[in-house]
Amino acid sequence: MCGIVGFIGKNAKTQIIDCLKKLEYRGYDSSGLALINNKDKIEIIKETGFISNIENLSNNMFDDLEIGIGHTRWATTGKVTKENAHPHVSNNGRFAIVHNGIIENYEAIKSDLSHKGYTFSSETDSEVVAILLEENAKTAKSVIENIKLTTKILEGSFSLAILDTHSPDKIFATKKDMPLFVSAGADFASIASAVVGLPHDAIQYIMLENHDIAEISLNTIKVWQNEEMVDRRVQKITKDDLNHTMHNHKHYMIKEIFEEQVALEKTAEAFSSLKPSAKKEILDLFASHKRIHLVACGTAYHACLVGASLLESIGFDCSCHIASEFKYFPPNLNDKCLCIFVSQSGETADTIGCLKLVQEKGIKCLSITNVESSTIAHISDHLLMTKAGTEVAVASTKAYNCQCLIFYLLTQAISKNNQVISIKNLKIDKILQTINQISKLSQIIATFKKVFFIGRGLDSLTAKEGSLKLKEITYIPSESYPAGELKHGTLSLVDDESLSIVILTQKSTIHKTMNAVSEIKARGGFTLVVTPFDEIQPNHEIDYVFHLPILKNEQHYPLISIIPLQLFAYFTSIEKGINPDKPRNLAKSVTVE
């Protein structure tokens, strides 16, 4: 969701466009760039749609320029139009800015600036920043002071990259509650809102802190905090930070599904390799807290549901919360509570807000994330890393499995269960060998106008994630329910245009779950059962069956029963002519509330 890049050095335009492409996974609906030309004037190119549009517009133009900033916008304030695309420029043309976040008091600022005679060319909250910089330049003694005066007025969240034609060889940057990274090499300097957005030549970076103001010039980065120059920790860039190529796959989503076994293996290895002191600290959290709140959004929330079920099975009292609700309607929190926060990107704004709320109250907390350079990883007291590697497709797949695995590993460690989960014994490869069958079933799924996912116990949790995957990337209306809940209202929606996908992996629930299948067929609905049980075959009540591998421990099925559901969503999306990597209206990293 929204991406910022900046570059100083040769071929700045090409470098900026290349870096913006590396941020496409975050989701966007317009893009643009600003460059300072040889006459110290700002050149702007922006357009709706894909980055290729600004690439084509700027073809054979500005190739000799050596400084600029770029942006991919996911519309929040203001429609998807060229005028609302970033960068935005001050009335006098001196400043150009790109902005991630939301300026909550922009209407009041805009009104005040309008009364002073300034004009606005967009509907965005971001444009006020460029014009505020122009206004404050009248009194500020330096660009750094100007940025400080300007950001002091802003309410909300922001990361900003700024060009000033009075300092034509520099990019300025600042942030509050949004990620921003800077890097410099032998012949370049750069800025990005995610480490993956830095140039290929970058080997290290600095993560800016809230209210830092950075002055970036060729080979040099200076950072101020409260008018004093400060040092920030330099961190190395890992392969996981930069590796997001599709190799021989048609889409990132299918590539990432095929990477699930390796991702799980790396996550299990990382957990087992924790330093004894770090592992003891985490286990001590559970030893001293029996009341647990798990907080997340979307797919990560579904992983929390699995985690809560596992922790409850060993005696904990757990509640799961959607982060956007938790922040404004928190439960009763006290020092007897432990809070667990889960986020794939580590930049989920709602989850970060909850984490800070909990920290302010002095509540113990633990975070689970996939990105070591993320805000959540940076501010958390206790951290467990998943090792899914870069996940580009908007619909999360391998990260979800790794989040679930962390909860399995935690539960084992807390209960001192020495029985190690063998990733190989999950038989993921056998599922991936059934691609042709899954593809054919997906052709059938694509013909239905609505799809329901049902199951009992752990299967009902997998149903939630399966339903989310399908609606995310196929646009087929889909809902999930515990199988026994159908007769309490949802059966009214079942007809011959509906398909119910039934997850059935728990032997103790076969009879009761099949009762729900009978209820569906009696109302004219169609059924597809996903199960490891060989005795379940197509019959007068079951239209289609997909058989999972048989596992020794049925409690482990959530780690693999989701995989065919992810593949159903992928192939159904292909069947409907939709790009599964970039579904409409959605972003990979939701960095605004």
The residues annotated as belonging to the active site are: 2, 588
CA contacts within 13 A on the Cβ side of 13: 22
Strand order in the sheet with 213-217: 88-89, 95-103, 156-164, 171-176, 213-217, 220-225, 228-230
CA contacts within 13 A on the Cβ side of 448: 28
Helix (H/G/I), strand (E/B), else coil: 540: coil
Rounded Cα distance between 563 and 572, Å, is: 14
- Which has the closest alpha carbon to 268: 399, 412, 428, 402? 402
Instruction: For residue 534, give the H/E element and its range.
Output: none
Amino acid letter for position 371: V
Rounded Cα distance between 374 and 300, Å, is: 16
Count of other CB atoms within 10 angstroms of residue 60 = 5
269 CB contacts (<8 Å, ≥6 apart)?
Answer: 387
What b/e string do you get for 429-456 counting C-beta neighbours within 10 Å, with b at 16 or more? eebbebeeebbebbebbbebebbbbbbb
Pull the structure tokens for residue 16. Answer: 């900026």
CA contacts within 13 A on the Cβ side of 138: 6
Instruction: For residue 414, give the H/E element and its range.
Output: helix 398-414
What b/e string do you get for 77-94 counting C-beta neighbours within 10 Å, with b at 16 or more? bbeeeebbbbbbbbbeeb
Pull the structure tokens for residue 572. Answer: 């159904």
Task: Please provide residue 470's backbone torsions phi and psi, each rounded to the nearest 5 degrees.
Answer: -65, -45
* 501, burial (CB in 10 Å: exposed 0-12, middle 13-18, buried 19+): buried
